[in-house]
Amino acid sequence: MLSLVKLFAGLFKAFPKLADLFEDAVYHFRNASAEAHRTEKDSAVDAFISSANSGVSCGSVQWSGEVDETPRSNEGGTSSTTFHSGSLEGDKSP
């Protein structure tokens, strides 16, 4: 096996264009393998999304209230915004 590697190394040193052709072939093989792997992963993701979305359709979502209706609070009263004064060191009021 080692002698085969030495034979290829000697050929590539003697014929640099042969080495370039071999590098191009390896490059294209790796790209083709990566593309096939990416396509397989994309298909798996698409299948998962399709199975997760089965039974859910956007046409079945409906708004159940008026757009201008004021939101109700849990206490049943009206709510207001209040301002609390304080400092960064903490509340020092009595």
Tokens for 30, please give them: 């790796």
pLDDT at 83: 59
| pLDDT at res. 19 | 93
pLDDT at residue 25, as a whole number? 96
Distance CA 61, CA 79 (A): 30
pTM over cut 0.75: no
Q: What is the pLDDT along the chain (94 residues), one digit of tens a residue?
A: 889 999 989 999 999 999 999 999 999 999 999 999 999 999 999 999 888 877 665 555 555 666 666 666 566 556 666 655 665 565 555 5
CB atoms within 10 A of CB 19: 15
Displacement of CA 90 from its chain's centroid (Å):
43
Q: Scanning the structure block, which residue is given the tokens 């009021």? A: 93
Tell me which residue has tokens 């708004």. 63
